[in-house]
């Protein structure tokens, strides 16, 4: 009984000792390294002004009321009827991607950007005109290294420099 306990103590200490020198290191050194995200990652959303048919399905399906239809003044006056276009509020968005998936013309698309910081609340609300300008590029102090997560049999995850 006590012998087996001693053995198990020793095994625990030896295992810990082994991991001091070798063992998986899973830390991603963000923001010096940034991970290249997989295809179809649900990040911030891109809006294409020209292909949008203003059907407002995106606003209807949005579970968080982040996507809203704004009256487009200029277009309404020109066409003599109320024309609405979508805008997004990133303080509410939960990145479920329902709006992208329901868009019948692929005017809304996922981007892989997800790490943008804002100074004010108002900046995070994008009316249609700003929304169509594309997603902001996150600012880094130094240009980060792009890495790719490689799933590895021995180390779990290995971060390798991405070939661009």
Partner 1 sequence: MISSGERELELLIGPQHPASGHMRLVAKVDGDVVVELRPNIGYVHRSVEKLAEVKKYLQIIPLVERPSLADTTANNLAYVMALEKLLGIEPPERAKYLRTLLAEINRIHSHLYGLGIHGVMIGSSTAYMWCFGDREPFLELAQELTGARLTYSYIIPGGVRRDLPAGLGERAERVLRYMENRMRDYFNLYFNNPVVRARLEGVGVLSRHDAINLGITGPNLRASGVAYDVRRAEPYAAYPELEFDIVTEEAGDSFARVMVRVREIVESMRIIRQVIRKIPEGPILHESYEKLIPPKLRESMKQRGMVKFPSVFANLRVPPGEAISRVEGGRGEVVFHIVSDGKLSPYRMRMVTPSFRNVILFEHLTRGVRVADIPAIYGSLDYFPPEADR
Q: Which residues bind partner 1 (CB under 8 A)?
A: 5, 8-9, 11-12, 14-16, 18-19, 24, 26, 37-42, 55, 57, 60-64, 94-98, 101-104, 106, 110, 149, 151-157
Alpha helices by DSSP H, 42-160: 57-61, 73-79, 98-102, 128-131
Minimum CB–partner distance for residue 73 and partner 1 (Å): 26
Distance CA 39, CA 15 (A): 38
* Residue among 34 and 129 whose Cβ is closer to partner 1: 34
Minimum CB–partner distance for residue 128 and partner 1 (Å): 19
Minimum CB–partner distance for residue 78 and partner 1 (Å): 27
CB atoms < 10 A from the CB of 102, how many? 14
Structure tokens at 106: 């692929």
Tell me if residue 30 falls in helix, strand or coil: coil
* Residue among 19 and 78 whose Cβ is closer to partner 1: 19
* Residue among 8 and 133 whose Cβ is closer to partner 1: 8
Minimum CB–partner distance for residue 31 and partner 1 (Å): 18
Q: Is the dihedral of CA 70, 75, 80, 81 positive or negative?
A: negative
Report yes or no: 93 and 66 within 8 Å, Cβ to Cβ.
yes
Report yes or no: 103 and 45 within 8 Å, Cβ to Cβ.
no
* Residue among 79 and 101 whose Cβ is closer to partner 1: 101
Distances (CA, A) of 136 to 28, 72, 102: 23, 22, 23
- Give residue 19's Cα distance to chain centre: 33
* Residue among 38 and 80 whose Cβ is closer to partner 1: 38
Minimum CB–partner distance for residue 77 and partner 1 (Å): 28
């Amino acid at each position: 009984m006590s012998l087996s306990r001693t053995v198990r103590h020793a095994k625990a200490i030896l295992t810990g000792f082994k991991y001091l020198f070798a063992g998986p290191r899973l830390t991603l050194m963000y923001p010096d390294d940034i991970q290249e995200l997989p295809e179809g990652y649900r990040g911030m959303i891109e809006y294409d002004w020209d292909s949008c048919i203003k059907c407002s399905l995106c606003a209807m399906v949005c579970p968080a009321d982040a996507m809203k239809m704004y009256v487009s003044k200029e277009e309404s006056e020109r066409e003599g009827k109320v024309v609405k276009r979508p805008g997004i509020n990133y303080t509410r968005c939960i990145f479920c991607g329902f709006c992208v998936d329901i868009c019948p013309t692929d005017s809304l698309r996922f981007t892989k950007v997800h790490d943008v910081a804002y100074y004010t609340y108002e900046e995070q609300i994008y009316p249609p005109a700003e929304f169509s300008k594309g997603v902001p590029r996150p600012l880094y102090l130094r240009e980060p290294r792009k890495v790719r997560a490689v799933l590895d049999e021995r180390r779990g995850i290995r971060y390798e420099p991405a070939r661009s």
